[in-house]
Structure 1
Amino acid sequence: MRLQVTFEQLYKYGNWDDCIAFFLRSVEDFDYFIGENTWCREKCAREHRTNKKTGIDAGEDIAEIALMYANAQHALCLFRCKSERLTSMRPSVNDPDVFEEFQNRKPYQYMQICYWKQNDLASAVKSAYTYLVANPNDQETLDNLAFYMEQEGYNDKMLVDAQQMKYEASYMNGVKAYNDGDWQLCVNDLETSVKQFLEEEQKCRYICEDKLNWETFDGVNPEITIITTSIYLSVLRCKHNCVKKLSRVNGHDIESILPTYFDYLHVCYYKLNRGRDVCEAVANSILLNPYNPIMRRNRLFYSRTYKKDDLFKPTDEIVEFHKRYAIEQLFLDFLPPERVDDRLPLDLIIPINDDFDYSAIEKELLSEGECSALSVAAIFETRTAQQKKLMVEVTDRVATRYRTKTELRSLTCSPETMNIKCNHQLFVVSIDRSSCGAFPSEPKPNTCSLIFCVDTLANSKQASNPQRIFIK
């Protein structure tokens, strides 16, 4: 039975105890379903990796049969495992609409009302907040939560996400430790969170293995390669989207969360005098998001500090993640249109070496004369033809030196009052005489600055958080 019908029946008769009990049990059963599904897929994937190597040196026809036999073994493994672990007492979720309702935390939207009717304010707030984390624009629940917050007995400790993942909690603890200057705790929590995030991303990918879009077969020529490619593509899209799906922490989108770990970690490592780890973190960040001007300048600073460029090597784990993500993107971009290169083999060579020209950013970005001219334009809010030309030249200079698409969003002497929101990356360039051409970490009061946005999506398919962490 659909959740909405069950809730409406319980609501109609005011059966709040059963309403709460049924929804809590449904959430528990869904979590069990996800956990057992993931366990079966992990187990069978391990066995399949061994079985599919059989016949790898055989002729083409025999190798194809050997591969399909291994696939059949994989299928049987999944069938047996699910039959054993998902019984009539806790069956599979076969309706995709019901699955999406649980993924979107729909039960919590209902439970908040049931709890409120039971005069359980803390649980009502917790349920409403849990639903809002996944659905931040749901006006009805926003209004309900605002109402709950006005009630006697409310306190902010009630704002608990019942579905918060481990990596989210570790991430927030790590960022708090960073802001508090507790560098060792920052490292401990963020390193733990990276590991937890990668584990959760793999689980998300396993969950995608039954996300088949059957609509793609309508009117399709029933060739086996067409059908198998269509099936694979629908699953791959789901898997590839796991990074974006999991890049939401406490209801806030962070675009691609993985590079941001290293935006924090390199500072924490530096404060602990862990030079090798600093360089690895910077290399990881640049590999995942090569269009971050601030991290390029950090890389230049650390090169001068440690004087060993060979230390800037990304970790094997991040290299493998990056290669997989990039190759998946190539495949997803490949299929829709017919192109000249669609008859060429897929290029599996993904560059990981940092070939950026750091000598280009050693040069002063702005001369004293340019800073003076731009400061006049900012102070008097003038935009003469000469000033506009200079602004265009500086924007092009930044784009050329940092190999990125950049947009100048503001020229101002009151940067602290600017509410500039970039889709991805924001950075500031000082035009004050005392710090001409410097990259401050934050706009400072009563200083004149250029404020840029970097469109990382225009540069790369993998975007980063609008992070502004800079060492010097």
Structure 2
Amino acid sequence: MNYQLLFLVIAGMVWYCDCITPASLDQTYEKGLKAYTEERWSRCIEKFEESLHIYRLYRSVEFNCRLKCNAVKFERRVEENIDDLQIYEAYFNKRNCINSCRKTGYAGVNLKSNPEEFYINAMQAKKPYGYLHICYHQMNMNMKAASAAYTYLVAHPDDEIMLANVKFYTEQPQVDPNEIVDYEGDDYVLLYSLGKESYEKKNWAETVASMEEVIKDYISSENICRVECERQPGQEWSSEFVITLSNNMASLLHCRQHCQDKLKIMKYKSGVEFLADILNYLQISYYNLEKNDLAAEAVASGLVLLPEDEDMLANDKFYTELTKKKATASRSDVEYYFKRDKYEKDLLRFFHKENKDKVDPDSTKK
């Protein structure tokens, strides 16, 4: 994934909403539900697929505006930071930037803004796929039905009914289990699989190419998830402004920390653990390519994430002797990721210090 590509996503999908009346996620989703209850299967497919397209447009506009306005350097009116007024000015500028960007962005793709909370939650929970797999099946499109059911299952791994549905589809003669895909899957998951296949075949150059992209795409995916956290419905309110602000900041940090849970795959407990393992694949591959400096850098980066890992410590000693360097600098992207993650966890511990009964253990775990 790449932030710069998000605008291209919007541009490439404008054709879909080339109409006089702005497309509405709410209305389109309701039309899909109505078609489903009336057993109008082709109409069900049409409207739920359309709702997915509209939601992608909505997310693209929102992400682009937040990313753009986070990056813009505004002209400063308050020269001295008296009573923290520069902070107030920064948020006023960002507010104006986001409102202006949204107005232009939604008009550019002919999309109605501000969907109701119910429909946003439904899209985030992958609810359309729960209906689509049945509609596909009724239209004898079992390959699509299998992938739709699997996409829903990824978001709801404990749903036993959907697990049974996926099993049912894999047993159908027209369904190849190897071709079932997660329609909402991130690129880094596929790249990780390709990298492991190359590693097992001892194709070191291909392993490096895949795993380097895994790191970039995973961090990008997590950053996009973190940007989505800036939308905080139902915020906690107090008559004391500072308390309200602090509670909402803590809620934002909790949401950002949970992005690692949302994106984790297979055995990994967190993004920190996942990136550390990818760096281990890289150090072995670089070593076999006789690129010892890059191998040492991968090890140093792994130790930033897991400083007490015995294998990494042994590898660090090995490369120190091999490269004759007392210390090897770690990768800047990994260093930044770790520091941000550590500081957020520290802030959440500090926030909950006097309210231990409210601590969310998942948000402060190492």
Q: TM-score range by the shorter chain?
A: 0.7 to 0.9
SS at match of 1:241: helix
What displacement does 1:194 show? 1.0
- The answer as to whether partners of 1:211 and 1:238 remain within 8 angstroms in 2 is no
Residue of structure 2 aligned with 1:51, choices 74, 92, 95:
74
What displacement does 1:7 show? 5.2
Aligned partner of 1:446 in structure 2 is none
2:44 aligned with 1:22 = no
The TM-score, its normalising length taken from structure 2, stands at 0.83
2:297 aligned with 1:272 = no
Matches within 5 A, 1:45-84: 45-47=70-72, 50-51=73-74, 55=78, 58=80, 60-61=82-83, 64-84=84-104
Specify which structure has the higher proportion of strand. 1
Aligned residue identity for 2:85:
I
- The answer as to whether partners of 1:52 and 1:67 remain within 8 angstroms in 2 is no
SS at match of 1:210: coil
Specify which structure has the higher proportion of helix. 2
What displacement does 1:67 show? 2.8
What displacement does 1:89 show? 4.8
- Structure 1 residue runs without a partner (length 5+): 340-456, 463-472
- Structure 2 residue runs without a partner (length 5+): 1-25, 356-360
The alignment yields a C-alpha RMSD, in angstroms, of 2.5
Aligned partner of 2:36 in structure 1 is 11
Aligned residue identity for 2:82:
E
Aligned partner of 1:282 in structure 2 is 299
- The answer as to whether partners of 1:2 and 1:98 remain within 8 angstroms in 2 is no
- The answer as to whether partners of 1:148 and 1:154 remain within 8 angstroms in 2 is yes
Aligned residue identity for 1:77:
C
Distance 1:316 1:94 in 2: 39
Residue of structure 1 aligned with 2:190, choices 169, 172, 184:
169
- The answer as to whether partners of 1:10 and 1:19 remain within 8 angstroms in 2 is yes
Aligned partner of 1:308 in structure 2 is 325
Residue of structure 2 aligned with 1:245, choices 238, 262, 268:
262
The TM-score, its normalising length taken from structure 1, stands at 0.65
Distance 1:199 1:188 in 2: 17
2:341 aligned with 1:325 = yes
Instruction: Call closer, same or farther: CA 1:121–1:65 in 2, change over 3 Å.
Output: same
Distance 2:296 2:322 in 1: 11
- Based on CA coordinates, which of the two structures has the bigger radius of gyration? 1
Distance 1:239 1:314 in 2: 24
Distance 1:8 1:26 in 2: 11
Instruction: Call closer, same or farther: CA 1:145–1:2 in 2, change over 3 Å.
Output: farther
Aligned residue identity for 1:195:
K
> How many residues end up aligned between the 2 structures?
331
What displacement does 1:297 show? 2.5
Instruction: Call closer, same or farther: CA 1:337–1:52 in 2, change over 3 Å.
Output: farther
Identity of aligned residues (%): 27
Listed one character per residue, the Cα deviations across residues 346-370 of structure 1 (whole Å, up to 9, x for unaligned) are: xxxxxxxxxxxxxxxxxxxxxxxxx
SS at match of 1:268: helix
What displacement does 1:101 show? 2.3
Aligned partner of 1:428 in structure 2 is none
Aligned partner of 1:450 in structure 2 is none
Matches within 5 A, 1:32-51: 32-47=57-72, 50-51=73-74
- The answer as to whether partners of 1:259 and 1:285 remain within 8 angstroms in 2 is yes
What displacement does 1:133 show? 2.0
Distance 2:62 2:74 in 1: 21
